[in-house]
Amino acid sequence: MKQLPTLGIIGGNGWLGSALGRSVLTHGLVAPDQLVVTTSRSGHHYQAWPEVTCVDSADALVELADVVIVSVRPEQFDTLSLSLEMRLVISLMAKVPISTLARATGSERIVRAMPNAAAAVGHSYTPWYATPEVASDERGWVHRLLSTCGPSDEVKEEAQIEYLTALTGSGPAFPALLADALISHAMTQGVSELVARRGVLHTLSGASQLMLEENTSPAQLVERFLDYGGTTTEGLNAMLDSGFRQAVHQGLDAAHEAARHTPY
């Protein structure tokens, strides 16, 4: 693999593609004049890097890029016609399996990566799977690339990407749902929206930091509060009795099922 490949992101001005594009530039993994992105009707995300090349079609991008990241919606992928035989292809798409990517691009060197929305602030968690044809130096580069937007792990089976699409790819929406439920309850109790939102968001991020930094498992923290015998114990027991775990598990099953189905 060439030391400084030109990186192309099809969908590089979309939600996820622009988060990764900006992140590789911020970390200096790719120089601005080595990045090519497709334009988007919804805006341009590279004002700070005028040397980034914006092209108006995937065909034009493929002419310029050594490594191609595909970050269009799964249902948009079918409309692309890509000839990438000799290229490393990195897909960020849910629902599109390696077999389809290989058939559609002609490449055997394919990575399926699954960042999440927190990539926009450098706090994604990004698992990725590579076909056996991806060389070890390329794997190292892919890992550095994906790690620019948060921790990243290689997984050894594509099926894990399908499951992790539901768990961590969709993941930020699930604590957002919990946060919204907490905030709306607080507001019914007369707490201002400002205090409720700051309180809840800092409580969620503080709980994550506590468990990460003290290496405490969530199960241990829950158990500690269940044993504590205080207000938290009452709250946890009522939530568990109301089917909290079952609701979460049903949601993950539904997202996993959706992640296993190509939309065409």
Q: Which of 51, 129, 38, 22 is nearest to 82 (CA)?
A: 38
Question: Which 44-63 residues touch ligand NDP, going by CB under 6 A?
Answer: 58
110 binds ligand A1CAB (CB under 6 A): no
169 binds ligand A1CAB (CB under 6 A): yes
Alpha helices in 151-243 (DSSP H): 158-164, 173-188, 193-213, 218-228, 231-241
- Confirm if 38 and 52 have CB atoms less than 8 A apart: no
Tell me the closest approach of the beta carbon of residue 163 to ligand NDP, in angstroms: 14
CB-based contacts of 210: which residues, under 8 Å, 6+ apart? Answer: 216, 221
Size of residue set near ligand NDP by CB under 6 A: 27
Tokens of residue 41, six digits = 């009707």
- Confirm if 107 and 138 have CB atoms less than 8 A apart: no
* Number of residue whose CB is nearest ligand NDP: 14
**HSE-up (13 A, CA, CB side) for residue 255:** 20
Binding residue (CB under 6 A) for ligand NDP from 11, 21, 97, 127:
11
Tokens of residue 112, six digits = 């399926």
Task: Specify the residue, 117 or 252, whose C-beta has the smaller distance to ligand NDP.
Answer: 117
Tell me the closest approach of the beta carbon of residue 168 to ligand A1CAB, in angstroms: 9
Binding residue (CB under 6 A) for ligand NDP from 30, 72, 134, 255:
72
Compute the distance between CA of residue 17 and CA of residue 36 in angstroms, rounded to an integer: 11
97 binds ligand A1CAB (CB under 6 A): no
Degrees, nearest 5: CA angle 208-214-218: 50
Q: What residue 115 binds from ligand NDP, ligand A1CAB, none (CB within 5 to 8 A, per partner kind)?
A: ligand NDP
Stretch that binds ligand A1CAB, among 2-10, 165-173, 193-201, 244-252 (CB under 6 A): 165-173
8 binds ligand NDP (CB under 6 A): no
**HSE-up (13 A, CA, CB side) for residue 179:** 19
165 binds ligand A1CAB (CB under 6 A): yes
Relative orientation angle of helices 193-213 and 173-188, to the nearest 10 degrees: 140
Stretch that binds ligand NDP, among 81-89, 113-121, 205-213, 214-222 (CB under 6 A): 113-121
Q: What residue 13 binds from ligand A1CAB, ligand NDP, none (CB within 5 to 8 A, per partner kind)?
A: ligand NDP
Degrees, nearest 5: CA angle 74-33-39: 35
Question: Where along the sequence are the contacts to ligand A1CAB (CB under 6 A)?
Answer: 94, 165, 169-170
Question: Where along the sequence are the contacts to ligand NDP (CB under 6 A)?
Answer: 10-11, 13-17, 38, 40-42, 58, 71-74, 76, 79-80, 92-94, 114-117, 169
